[in-house]
Amino acid sequence: MAVGTKEQIISREKNSVKNAVIIGLNRLGYLAYERWKQYAGRNLRFLGFINVFEGTVRKDESIGRENVLGDLRDFDKLVKKHNIKYAIIAVDIDDVSLIHKVIAECNKNGVEYELVSELNDVIYGHTIQQIFKDLQRPIEISFRRFFDIIFALILLIVFLPTWLIIGLLIKLDSEGPVLYSQERVGKDGRIFRIFKFRTMFTDAEKRTGPTLATKDDPRITKVGRFLRKTRLDEIPQLLNVLIGDMTLIGPRPERPYFVEKYSQEIPMYKNRLKMKPGLTGLAQVNTGYDNSIDDVREKLKYDLYYYERRKSLLFNLKILWKTFIVVMTAQGQ
């Protein structure tokens, strides 16, 4: 039951509605505008567009010139004048410098924002969130942790004979340890050591430094190639799951060097760090290993999409089933 006078209630409801704008007077911005109904339930009031390219304001028949509030160069003044609280950034995701500029303006003026991607709208029918908030309740987090531990223990027992066989094959194939550990970046940027079966020759990156694996990579051993194709090289990460550094399903953890590199080149890349890294994930069952920066961008879209649907038990079970298919059919690289 609402508390207060009728005027107070109306005032609270009015204040709960945030004035919102679309930054980007372009095809992507128009697409966001046409689908504005999906934002209405989030208490957002559309005020108009803000143009990112100064002096190139265009008139659109379906929208009208009166909906263009001004240029990005005047963002400070526009925020104060119109009391803007929320922005939907409709900028080409490959225009990194412009996206960082727009985000910096939003942060400076205390404006919440999210980035829309035309490709994601086509594939998924939704936007990529820029502001991530962990809305999971403690009981949900506890249940997921319980599920991780039980499932990891079962898999460890099931794969125990496989450990012995793989270990023997690795030793027969090349010199070096069966297992190796490597620093990876986990949730909220915390560094931890990941465990894997060794798939490359010892000191493979001693001369080259950190580099992405490629097709027919000469650094990969014969047994290592098979392990990568079946993803069996990841089995030791069940230990990471038990320790709590990782979960069963989530974005794959990356090395600190690449996290820093990708964060500079790809907007929102660090948003992956809002989730605990996973043994498998939506990106892993839908794509291959990263061979280029474009592959990383593609995986990021899957990772952020998973974040929005991570609470769905059915969705998680589907990912586990697809992981099983990938392992059984050797679809890895």
The average pLDDT across 279-301 equals 83
Domains of the chain: 6-123 (3.40.50.720), 138-329 (no CATH)
**Whole-number pLDDT of residue 1:** 38
Lowest average pLDDT, out of 56-70, 183-197, 246-260, goes to 56-70
Q: What is the DSSP letter of 74?
A: G
Question: 189 CB contacts (<8 Å, ≥6 apart)?
Answer: 270, 273
**Whole-number pLDDT of residue 194:** 94
Tokens 């009031």 belong to 45
* pLDDT above 90 for 169: yes
Mean confidence (pLDDT) of the chain: 79
Output the DSSP codes for 261-282: HHHHHSTTGGGGGGS--EEE-H
Tell me the range of 140-154, 226-240, 277-291 where mean pLDDT is highest.
226-240
**Whole-number pLDDT of residue 54:** 58
**Whole-number pLDDT of residue 237:** 93
The answer to whether the beta carbons of residues 40 and 69 sit under 8 Å apart is no
The average pLDDT across 277-285 equals 90
**Whole-number pLDDT of residue 76:** 94
Lowest average pLDDT, out of 20-24, 55-59, 145-149, 326-330, goes to 55-59
